[in-house]
Structures are given as C-alpha cells and as structure tokens.
Amino acid sequence: MYHIGIDLGGTNIVAGILRESDIAPLLSFRSCSSDDSQPFAFCGSCLLYKESIPTLPSRSAEEIMADAASLARTVAHSAGVDFRDVTSIGFVSPGTVNPVSGVVEFAGNVPFNNFDAKLHLRHNTGIDKITVDNDANAAAYAEAVVGAGCGVRDFLMITIGTGIGGAFVSAGDVQRGFNFAGGEFGHTVIVAGGEKCTCGRLGCVEAYCSINALIRMTLDEMARADATGEHTLLSDIAAKTSGVNGKTAFDAMRRGDKVAESIVSRYIYYLSTALTNYINIFQPEILAVGGGISKEGEYLLSPLRRIIYSEMFNRRQRPNKYTKIVTASLGGDAGVIGAALLAAKEWSNKK
C-alpha cells in the first residue's frame, strides 16, 4: 500500500508517493532511534517519485484542486503504482488549516478561503482517506520522522522564507493547541513596538528574521552607505543577481564587506533572540533551521549557537544538555514527504 503527499504552494504544487512498508516503522518516534546508524541516508529513498506543476494561483480553488488530484494520479502512475493501491492522500497548504474538518480557512497567496479541501480531494480522486494540514506542520513532521530530528522526542523546526513557519513536534505529534492555530513561531514579538508585521502586529519575528526582512535591512543599509559615501560591495553583488536577495549580504560579508558584516550580525542577533525564546519555552533536543537561508550553513549556525548558548536560561548546564542547533535535512521535499507521512500516520492502521 502507498500514501501520496500533495504540497500546495503559491508557485508550485508538488506531489510525491511513499510505500507504506518503508515508513510504517518510523511513525512511532522510538523506532527511529533504535536504528539510528544512518537515519539520514534513509530519507532520500523514502520518496519513490515526485512531480510538480505550476499553481497558477489566479485560478479558482476548485480548478487548482482538480489539477492537484490529477497530479496525484500522475505520480502513482509514474511510480508504477496502481491508484487502487493508494491508501491515503495528505494535502498541505500555507495558512490556517483545520485538520479535523479538512477545511483550509485562509491560505494567503493561494485563493483557498474556507475551502473544504478534504471534500474536494475526495470527490476528485475517489479516495476517502484524506488528511489536510498546514505546510509548516508537515515539513516539521517530516524532519522529525525521517530528517534532522529523527530519533529524538522533542524537536523544533523553524522554516525561514518570505515568511516564517515552524512547529514543535513532541513524542511523534505536532503540537497545535486546542484550536489548531498554535506553532505560529513567526508571530511572536522580539521588538515590542517594532516593525509592522504581515499579521498586523508590531515587532514580530517574521518582521525581523524572514528573508523579506533581511532584504529590507540590506536595502536600508545600501541606501545609508550611498548617502554617506561608505564603500560597500552590496550594490555590485546585487546587480549581478538582478536585485537584492537573501544571499546578497552573506555573499558580500564573505568577501570582507564591513557594511554586509554589520547587516548579517544584526540579522543573526534578531534570529538568536527568537530561537533563545523558543529554547527557553520548549527545550527541544534538536532545533532545525530550514528554508533557503539554511544553505548558509555554518556562516549562519556558528554565530547563532555562540549567542544562544551564552544567553539561554540553562546555559550553566553541561553542554551535552544543550539543544543541538542544525540545518534541516530534507530541503524542499520536507512538505510533500510530511504530507504523505501525516496521512500515513492517520490512516495506516484504520480500515
């Protein structure tokens, strides 16, 4: 039997397929730690096949869902799997999702407003066993089960992109709160009365630590350096990549640029403040940073660890009791793998 995951994003819809016998033992979180000789090597092989198509988000939710359903059939076919052998489908989207009703209440840059994803996916695929969830929850669950958090009880993942997503997974379950709206790590405040966030609040983590925030800081510093005549490589680097992106400041810093160095260290200070707060609340054994910025690797993680380990409340404990801070390991596949795993977890033992 097989489980399909569908990850709806503002740009692409990705679908992928997993074989139940490959992943069933991993769905109880303990089983992974008993076989942790090579927990990461397994991940690449658990996704049998995946494919993506453009979302074209100006279309209606019904049209997008019909495409997602036919993509599910395509991945089964391309993996050599009879669609009748597909037990369940997991569907994840950005925004506020009710996993019990299967309704996407609000999804931001895709037109899913109070849209019954479960009902439509059932109708379009003929498959009854549908799981619907938030994409950040799915990515964190995948990393917890087969990725960077494999084998630990308490795992926290934060995904840094245009926004900030995250989830805390404990004992194999995503912690969502009574109304499923929990885990909004990006919308906790680190600068009271600070920059306006997309959620309307002032000073959120998302307003200081998202890629959009890093781009804003880079542009502000370029304008300031321009006005004061301070030398910086930022404009030259930005011109080669047709504009400032999340790498611009890091690239300039690696070339010894002082202005860039100050941007990166300020950015990392904001991020360390947020992550220290999360560690003080949850004490995860592993905290993984995902999203495009995690490609900066130790340029990001080393200074982060230095600040966090000197500020966190339990800093006087032995270092082997410190939260490990790592990059996520599944990359862009985390959402689609997590969607299929959440469905497998919900349905693999149910008739």
Q: Name the residue nearer to Zn ion (CB basis): 191 or 233.
A: 191
Q: Name the residue nearer to Zn ion (CB basis): 91 or 180.
A: 180
Residue 187: CB minimum distance to Zn ion, A: 4
Q: Name the residue nearer to Zn ion (CB basis): 201 or 216.
A: 201
197: contact with Zn ion by CB under 5 A: yes
Helix ranges (DSSP H) in the chain: 20-23, 29-33, 39-46, 61-78, 117-125, 135-146, 205-209, 211-228, 234-240, 248-254, 258-282, 298-311, 334-347
- Paired with 167 in beta bridges are 157
**Which of 56, 171, 181, 199 lies at the binding interface for Zn ion (CB under 5 A)?**
199
Contacts of 207 (CB under 8 A, 6+ apart): 191, 194, 195, 196, 197, 198, 213
Q: In terms of C-beta distances under 8 Å and separation of at least 24 residues, what long-range contacts does 55-62 make, across chains too?
A: 55/8, 55/9, 55/10, 55/11, 55/12, 55/13, 55/110, 57/10, 57/109, 57/110, 57/111, 58/111, 59/111, 60/111, 61/110, 61/111, 61/112, 61/113, 61/115, 61/120, 62/120
Binding segment for Zn ion (CB under 5 A), chosen from 36-44, 80-88, 185-193, 304-312, is: 185-193
**DSSP state letters, 34-97:** TTTTSHHHHHHHH--EEEEEE--TTS-HHHHHHHHHHHHHHHHHHTT--GGGEEEEEEEESSEE
Binding segment for Zn ion (CB under 5 A), chosen from 143-151, 152-160, 186-194, 309-317, is: 186-194
Q: Name the residue nearer to Zn ion (CB basis): 210 or 272.
A: 210
Binding segment for Zn ion (CB under 5 A), chosen from 110-118, 167-175, 182-190, 274-282, is: 182-190
Residue 139: CB minimum distance to Zn ion, A: 19
Q: Name the residue nearer to Zn ion (CB basis): 199 or 239.
A: 199
204: contact with Zn ion by CB under 5 A: yes
The residue count for binding Zn ion (CB under 5 A) is 6
Q: Name the residue nearer to Zn ion (CB basis): 153 or 187.
A: 187
187: contact with Zn ion by CB under 5 A: yes
Residue 201: CB minimum distance to Zn ion, A: 5
201: contact with Zn ion by CB under 5 A: yes
Residue 103: CB minimum distance to Zn ion, A: 23
Binding site for Zn ion (CB under 5 A): 187, 197, 199, 201, 204, 206
